[in-house]
Amino acid sequence: MTEHPENGIETGTVVYDLRTDRVGEYRGSVGPYALLRPLGGGREWEARAESVRPATAEERLSAEVRAVNRRSSTLSHPVLDTPAPEPVPGCATCAEFAARRKAAEAGFDASAVTDVVVLLRRHLRRDHWASVR
């Protein structure tokens, strides 16, 4: 098994990403980023190595339950599993969009999730150009 040199996390370890408030399986690293995949499958995302730590038993169980619910729910939609663009810390507009996305996800409203993501990306490009990858 490979380990991430900065934090000693082995491939396959269930970890918690502090920046995105998500639990995923550690898949490896590329440069300063840890590659994570949602439990139960889905699109991988990159996390800063310093924002990743092993998940607690409670976080792991919660993520596993969400994965089972996603598989069994007829309301599940791929948009709900897509990682959101990173809001800029300290920006009230970014925080508002993040809260709106979370509420839309909780209501399984894929259309509202898509709308909020589009608006957040537009805001990031317009007001935080240097922050957009």
By the 10 Å C-beta count (0-12 exposed, 13-18 middle, 19+ buried), 113 is classed as buried
What pTM was estimated for this model as a whole? 0.50
Q: What is the pLDDT of residues 48-70, one digit of tens each?
A: 989 999 999 999 998 888 887 77
Q: What is the pLDDT of residues 9-53, one digit of tens each?
A: 888 999 999 999 999 999 998 888 999 999 888 888 999 989 999
